[in-house]
Amino acid sequence: MPIYEFCCKKCNQEFEYLVFGSDKPVCPGCKSKNVSKLMSACGFVSKGGSGKTMRTSASTSSCSGCSAGSCAGCGH
**Rounded mean pLDDT, 4-25:** 93
- pLDDT averaged over the chain? 74
Within a domain: 31? yes
pLDDT-derived band at 76, boundaries 50, 70, 90: very low
Phi, psi of 7, rounded to the nearest 5 degrees: -130, 130
pLDDT-derived band at 2, boundaries 50, 70, 90: confident
Within a domain: 36? yes
Within a domain: 14? yes
Within a domain: 20? yes
Structural domains counted in the chain:
1
| pLDDT tens column, 20-46 | 888 899 999 999 999 999 986 666 666
Within a domain: 66? no
pLDDT at 21: 86
Within a domain: 69? no
- Calpha distance 29→51 (Å, rounded): 47
Within a domain: 52? yes
Within a domain: 24? yes
Residue 61 clears pLDDT 50, i.e. is over it: no
- Residues of the domain holding 15: 3-56
